Amino acid sequence: MGHASERHDVNSYATSSGKWVAFRQPVLREYARREGREVQFTHEVNPGEVWEEDEFWNELSWRIDDGNMGIREHFMSPYREGERITIDEYYQYMFERVPGLPEAAEAEGTDALGYMRKHGAFQIEEETYNKHEKDGWPTPSGKQEIYSKSMVEFGYPEHSIPHYRVMSHVHPDNLQEEDEYCLLPNFRLPQHIHSRSANAKWLAEIAHRNPLWVHPSDAAKLGVGEGDLLKVETEIGWFIDKVWVTEGIKPGIIGCSHHIGRWRRKQDSGNRYMTNEVEIEDLGDGKMRMRTVSGVRPWESDDPDTNRVWWRDGGVHQNITHAVQPDPISGAHCWLQKVRITRPVDGEEYGDVEVDTNKSFEYYKRWNEMAKENEVHPRGERRPLWMNRPLPPRKEHWFIRR
């Protein structure tokens, strides 16, 4: 999937109190349009034939549904009856509904999409101060609430006012053993976008491994130095990674970037810039182990650069060792992991990953029970109706059917 200059997108600029809409365009597609070339899909001009996501889903919906599944109706053109929506129509429809934009476009002799292609941004309001004086706050009281009646109604009176008393699974009081740490697994290196940029060869050359970030005081306590191996044990498994000693992380915290450690089996094809070749072994009783057979290697292709790959370390796949931890209130995944840090034993190697699927499911059920213990649904709502979303479901879907 394309990103940055390879796709269309909208965003706003929070540089003042005003309200803006901005338009990002795929550079080569817009260049082709200005040169008079007909382009149906952005991947036709993107480097590497990269799709942009909006077009991909529009196209996939029509290939899945022959017209009888009810999927196509959500991807219909608003201008051509019975036809699939195009990317230009998608944004034209959106911009026609931006207050003031159609009028500004008409004044320049163009339409809303043409205006945004030319200028790239449109100011909707010069300032947005004191909105609450006219509209109030979107709360039951209509005021900015320090005390939340909704938290009481939904079973969490202890959270009815803001505080810092939450004793989470990684609170220091719950990390009392000498080998217990908090694993920070969800930060990104600046070179990559999750794992979607793994096909960018120059970015992969800059960053392709994810060592454990360890503070010097913790490294001394653990008796390890730069490049030594440590075993990180989560609630459901473990992985082995190399140490990077740095003052860039707080004592008591172990860090490991989450978007590196891609893998493939021998029979798998696809991108190789950042993938280790692995073997997966079923150890029985729900346990699975992954072992690196070989790291990143150069290979022959139409691109001569693939034969110039000099790095060998593709990192460690830590993600599958992370227990699923649904937050009892929000339902969001709690990424931080309580872990034990030890030295590997004989037979355990760099890149080894082991997971117990039975433990994984049991641990998930324990977290689910934490939500059910206090679960209250006044009037049958799944969540407070006033806590809106950017794309909320229809109102009837906010209620639990008994």
Beta strands in 229-305 (DSSP E): 229-233, 237-245, 253-255, 262-264, 275-284, 287-294
What's the pLDDT score for residue 165? 79
Per-residue tokens: 132: 């609450």
Written as one letter, the residue type at 384 is P
Q: What is the pLDDT along the chain (402 residues), one digit of tens a residue?
A: 666 678 899 988 777 888 999 999 999 999 999 999 999 999 999 887 889 989 999 999 999 998 899 999 999 999 999 999 999 999 999 999 999 999 999 999 999 999 999 999 999 999 888 888 888 888 988 888 999 999 999 988 989 999 887 889 999 999 999 999 999 998 888 888 776 788 888 999 999 999 999 999 999 999 999 999 999 999 999 999 999 999 999 999 999 998 889 999 999 887 789 899 999 999 999 999 999 999 999 999 889 999 999 999 999 999 999 999 998 887 889 999 999 999 999 999 999 999 999 999 999 999 999 888 888 889 898 888 888 777 788 888 889 876
Q: What is the pLDDT of residue 160?
A: 93
Give the Cα separation of 177 and 288 in Å (integer): 27
User: Cβ contacts of residue 63 below 8 Å, gap of 6+?
Assistant: none
Q: Are 64 and 71 in contact (CB under 8 A)?
A: yes
Transcribe 90-101 into DSSP letters.
Answer: HHHHHHTTSTTH
| pLDDT at residue 196 in the model | 72
Task: List the one residue out of 127, 129, 91, 128 whose CA is nearest residue 112.
Answer: 91
What domains are there in the chain, each with its CATH number?
4-125 (no CATH), 178-372 (2.40.40.20)
pLDDT for res 164: 82
pLDDT of residue 13: 73
Please name which of 217, 12, 192 lies closest in space to residue 120, comparing C-alpha atoms: 12
At 397 the pLDDT is 87
Distances (CA, A) of 277 to 200, 202, 211, 232, 310: 19, 21, 18, 21, 16
Kind of pairing between the strands at 262-264 and 287-294: unpaired
- CA dist 183 to 214, 256, 353, Å? 10, 7, 16
Q: What residues does 20 pair with on adjacent strands?
A: 123
pLDDT value for 16? 82
Radius of gyration of the chain (CA): 26
CB-based contacts of 147: which residues, under 8 Å, 6+ apart?
160, 161
Phi-psi region of 155 (alpha: psi -120 to 50; beta: other; left: phi over 0): left
Cα–Cα distance between 95 and 390 in angstroms, integer? Answer: 17
CA 162 to CA 159: how far, in whole Å? 7
Residues 91, 8 contacting (CB under 8 angstroms): yes
Determine the Cα–Cα distance for residues 82 and 104; give it in Å rounded to an integer: 31
Q: Provide the phi-psi class of 256: left if phi over 0, else alpha when psi is between -120 and 50, else beta.
A: beta
Residue at 225: amino acid letter: G
- Give the span between the Cα atoms of 89 and 260, in whole angstroms: 37
Output the pLDDT for position 1.
Answer: 67
Question: Which amino acid is located at 256 in the chain?
Answer: C
CA distance 331 to 327: 5
Given this model, what pLDDT does residue 212 score?
97
The two tokens of residue 344 are: 């590997």
